[in-house]
Amino acid sequence: MGNSTGPRTPRGKARSSQNAAKHWIESGRILPEEQEDAAILRSGFVGDFKPQGLIEQEVIDDLTLNRLIKRRIDIAFTREFSRANIDKTIKWLENHERPLSEYWVRKAKTLGINRPEGQQAERLRPDACIATLEVLERRIGERGPQPEDLVALRDIYGDQPTGFAASAMFLLLRVAEQWTVENNTPQDAAQEDRKKQILALLRKEIELQKSREVLEKAAHAPEFASHIQEPPRPELETLLRYRAANTREFKDLLDCFERLRHLRESAA
C-alpha cells in the first residue's frame, strides 16, 4: 500500500484544516509561541489575586492557560469569518463571470466546450448586455440589419432572451430569410421599416437592462455592505461550543479560587 498523501478535495482539505484548528485549540499546554503572553497573563493574575500556597498557584496556572485558549478561539473565529468572506467573494465573482465565459464559448465554437445536457446557456449580465447591445445598435443603424446580427443576439442571450430581445430575433430572422446570398443585399422592400423596429426594440432592451443593472447592484449592496460573512454552520457551531466550554471553565476556576480563599480565611 502507498503512503497516504492526505485529503485532496477542497472539502477534505477544509475538514483537515478544522482538525488542525481543533487540536491547536484543545492543546492542554502553553505553546512555545505563547510563552511571552503566558508570562504577562500570569503576572497579571498574581497581582490581582495574590495567591498563597501551592493549590492557589495551580489555579492561577489554569487561569493563564484558560485565557490563552480563549485567545486561540478568538483567532480561530477571526480566521473563519475572514475565510467565509473570501469564499463568498470568490463565488460571487464566479457567478458573475460565468455568463460572460459562456458567451465567448458560444462565439468561439471551435473551443469544443459543451454544456451538460439539460443545462441552459445563460444570457450576459446586464452590464455586459448593455455594452454589447449598444455596439449592435450602432452597427445596425449604420449599415442596416443583416443575418449576422441574429447570431450576435443569440450569442448574447443564449437560451434566455427577454421579450424585447426575442422580438428583435424574430425580425432579424425575417431579414435572414429575405437576404440574397449572391449580392448580400436584402430583397424585402420593407427592410427599412424592419430596421426601425429592430432599433426601437434594441433601445427598449438596453433601457430594460439598465434597470436590471440598478436592481442587481441594489440586491448585492446589503450583502457587501459589511465585510462580515458568517462561516459555514458546522465550523461556527464548533467554535461556539469551544467558547462556551472555555467560559464555563473560566467561571469554575474563579469559583474554585474564591472557595480556596474562604477556606484559608476560615482556617486562620
DSSP result, 134-185: HHHHHHHHHH---HHHHHHHHHHHTT---HHHHHHHHHHHHHHHHEETTTTE
Q: Cell 422580438 appears where?
A: 167
Q: What dihedral do alpha carbons 168, 174, 178, 184 form, nearest 10°?
A: 30
Give 102-156 pLDDT, tens digit per residue: 776 666 554 444 544 555 678 888 898 999 999 999 999 999 999 899 889 888 8
State residue 214's pLDDT score: 85
C-alpha span between 165 and 93 (Å, rounded): 26
Say yes or no to pLDDT of 10 above 60.
Answer: no
Looking at the whole model, is its pTM more than 0.75? no
As a whole number, the mean pLDDT across the chain is 80
